[in-house]
Amino acid sequence: MSGLPDEETRVEDVTACGDDLLALVGDSIVIVGPTGRAERTYKLHGIGSTAPMGLTTIGSNVYLLTLTAEGKGFIYQVNLP
């Protein structure tokens, strides 16, 4: 046992949105609670075969950077409930 998290649980990126800390974990966005654990998890849909790579916010808007197998990047605005 290496002590490292499984590939599925690796945090790819984090960003702040208002009072929330958001983490990109695989193909999900996780709202991190005050205890440092997942409070809510939102599965990403509609990004096709692209791979989620980064997460950022501008004001209250959340944006996701993805890459295709050919290395082309796409930015999606994510609407969280």
pLDDT tens figures, 9-66: 789 999 999 999 999 998 999 999 999 999 999 999 888 889 999 999 999 999 999 9
> Residue 48's pLDDT is what?
83
Q: Which CATH architecture has domain 7-78?
A: Beta Barrel (2.40)
* Alpha-carbon span 47 to 39, nearest angstrom: 23
Confidence of residue 5 (pLDDT cuts 50, 70, 90): low
Q: Are 47 and 39 in contact (CB under 8 A)?
A: no
> Residue 38's pLDDT is what?
93
> Residue 1's pLDDT is what?
38
